[in-house]
Structures are given as C-alpha cells and as structure tokens.
Amino acid sequence: MSNIRNSDEALEKIKTHFHFLFDKGFLVADKAFENQSFGNWIVVLYSKMLLVRFIQDRGSIHVVVGPPWESTTTDSLGHFLELQLLIDYLNNKQLTVLTPVEPRDVDDQLSKLSSLLIANFEKIISFLNTEDYLQKEDEIKALRIIILKQTYPYIKFPDAK
Amino acid sequence: MTEGCGDEGKSKCHASENEIIQNIRRDNDFRNETNRIKCERGNKNYCGESTAKILAFGITALIGGVAAETFILGGGAAAATDATLWGLQRASWRAGWALSDAAEGALAWLLNKVGQNSRAGQVLMATFDNIALHNPKSSTMVIGQFPNYVNAGKQNGYTYYQLPNIVYNALNRAGWSQTNNANAIINSVQTGRNILIDAPNYIGPGLQFELGILNNLRYPSQWLNGPP
C-alpha cells in the first residue's frame, strides 16, 4: 500500500479518479498536507455547481460536498455533507453515519467514491442548489444526530439534560 | 493482548473494545510501576513529566538494547537522542520521501522486532503518546474529524492527539496504531479529562473505535456539535 506523501500527490490521485470533475470545469481551490497530523490531507475543488472536499483522515478518505457559495478554504467548517450520507438521504435509504471500515488503499477508496459521485452527480447538484438547502441540511443533520444517539447512547449532546 | 490486529484494529483480530481497554490499563499500570521504581532508584527522568527524556529512553532502549537503557537510566543523553529523532524527521522532509520511506521501514522493522508486549515496546508506546499529545496539561481533550479537532485544540488550548506522519506510517506497518490511539483515550479517561468530540461531517473508522471505547466505559464525554 502506497502512502500519499504531499498534497501534489493527493491531487494527482484525485485527477486520476475524478477526471470527470476536471472535464466539467472544476478547479483546485486549496490543498494541504499535514506532516504533523498522521499525513492527513485535504483537497478542495470548486465550480459554479458545487464544492467538493477530499479529506484523508488517518488513512480513511472522505468526500464531502457543499453548495457553490460555501468557503473554499481547507479549514472550512461550513455547510458540507458527506457524500454517502447525502446519497442515502436522496435515495430515501437508512443514513450511513459511520464510514465503513474499508480497505485502506488510496486508489481503491478513491475509485469507489468516484463511482458513487458519478452515479449521483446530477441529483447532488440539484439538491445543493435548491433555495431551501439550509433547511434540508438541518433536517439531514438532525437525522444524523438521532442515529448517533442510538449508536453511542452514553455520549451526550449539548442539548441533553 | 491484541497483537496482529493491524491498523484496522478489532476488525482483523476480533478483539473487543473491552479487551483492548483492559490490555491498555494493564500496560499503563506496568509502565507507571516501572517509572516509579526508576524514580525511587534516583533517576529523576521518571519522577515527573519529561517528554524528551522518556522519548530518549524509549528510542535508545529500542535501538541500543540493555546497555543503552542502562546508560539512560543513569541519566544523560536525553537531548542527543531527542535531537536524533527530530533530526531524522527534518532530514526526511529535506531529502525527499525516499529517506522517509526508509526511516519508516526501519522503525516498523524495529517495532516488529521488539514486539508490543516487551518492556521496550511498552516504553515506546509511552514515548509515542508523549510525542502525540499536545497541550497535555489541559483538563479537556478534543477528538474528532480532521482538521476540526486539531483547530479546536489549538484555538482553545485543549489536549489533542496527532502523530507525525513518519511515526504513524511506521506504526501502521507494524500494526500498532489502533492500540496507540486507544491508549491516548484511556490515558485521558484515567486522568479524568473532559472529552469533547468535534465531528460535524463524518465519523471515520479510527474515531468510531475511540467512540466505542468511550461509550463502553460510559465515560462522560460530549459532542461539540449539537442539533442544528
């Protein structure tokens, strides 16, 4: 298994597996690689349609998507949703809140995420650009919290008495 | 013990969070007792927190074996050993990743050689914890998704955990990383820190493992991100 060694390598991998985004005019907004933090990295792509953030966190790669008006910096905390969570919501499925433990090969992970994004791309763009996106985002996050409360009942939320 | 669990932890070896918690507690007791004895014998390095000196002991014990350990127990050489490790990290950055790969490979080989249950292995565990734990004197620890928890730790002075890439990759190669992260959580629990979880977007496998430990312990921990 090869490890990503810097943000340029991460970007090259993303260009390989998500070339369809670049074909559609997506550009690189920001990227970062953290030597001091497990070799985690972030790459942010943007377009007029949506923002896509790729994050490797302790070997696990996550894709989160957000509306085009969101911040494009790597440390943005804003209105992003994890790809699988959003797709589950859009397809009326049980929400995947916990990222499955998958093989940790970078190419395998990116390939799987790429297929997921391609298959749902138009639906996602439409959802992220609706006028009531913030309300729907709140709804998804509320559902996520319900599942987290069920999964980890002894970990409290700030609202819990 | 959970040797062979690999970087995906219990999924490979079927160890439960409870088993790992018990193992870590046993390891911690062993380490604390060992350090207490060393302190009583006059080695001030072990009478309080001294990251550089514990680090020096760990690395030197690993590389040099008994003779080096005896040397360190007698005091001294801490700064030199500390400088060696960080010099290696800096040299890796400067000289390119071929050296980094070699360094990771060498460290992984040594980790495998000593084994997680050996005395040197346990000292190394403590060493890595010391390297990884930032703001260790805070009464609150924050864990979660990257980079949120790191930012929260830096901005608020909370304890947070992050390992240099070179060490993390070596730990992964040797199959030690899962236990090491769990160790940091258990240490925080044992010291009574408040634990906050900052994970607004996703919960990866590593964090799931840590949350499983906290939930199983019923330790009073709290999400930072409340309902919208």
Task: Write out pLDDT tens, residues A17-39.
Answer: 999 999 999 999 999 999 999 99
Domain boundaries, chain B: 10-223
pLDDT at A142: 93
Interface predicted TM-score (ipTM) of this complex, two decimals: 0.93
Radius of gyration of chain A, Cα coordinates, nearest whole angstrom: 16
Q: Check if B168 contacts A (Cβ < 8 Å).
A: yes
More confident residue, B75 or A62: A62
Helix, strand counts (H, E) of chain B: 10, 5
Confidence of residue B33 (pLDDT cuts 50, 70, 90): low
Q: Which of B100, B167, B201, B217 to mutate to test the interface with A (most CBs of A within 10 A)?
A: B201
More confident residue, B193 or B8: B193
Q: Check if A80 contacts B (Cβ < 8 Å).
A: yes
What's the mean per-residue pLDDT of chain A?
A: 93
Of A57, A82, A151, the CB nearest to B146: A57
pLDDT at A101: 81
Q: Which one, of B120, B91, B105, lies nearest residue B167 by Cα?
A: B105
Task: State how far residue A22 is from chain B, nearest Cα, in angstroms.
Answer: 24
Task: Write out pLDDT tens, residues B80-134.
Answer: 444 555 565 555 555 555 567 788 888 899 888 888 888 888 888 888 888 899 9
Task: State how far residue B75 is from chain A, nearest Cα, in angstroms.
Answer: 29
More confident residue, B174 or A123: A123
Q: How far apart are alpha carbons B94 and A60 in whole angstroms?
A: 27
Q: Which of A58, A82, A150 to mutate to test the interface with B (most CBs of B within 10 A)?
A: A58
Q: How many residues does chain A have?
A: 161
Q: How many residues does chain B have?
A: 228
Q: Check if A42 contacts B (Cβ < 8 Å).
A: yes
pLDDT at B35: 61
Contact B223 A156 (CB under 8 A): yes
Confidence of residue A14 (pLDDT cuts 50, 70, 90): very high
What's the mean per-residue pLDDT of chain B?
A: 73
Q: Check if B227 contacts A (Cβ < 8 Å).
A: yes
In the predicted structure, residue B8 carries a pLDDT above the cut 80: no
Those of residues 28-47 in B touching chain A at CB distance below 8 A are none
**Cβ–Cβ under 8 Å, residues B47 and B41:** no
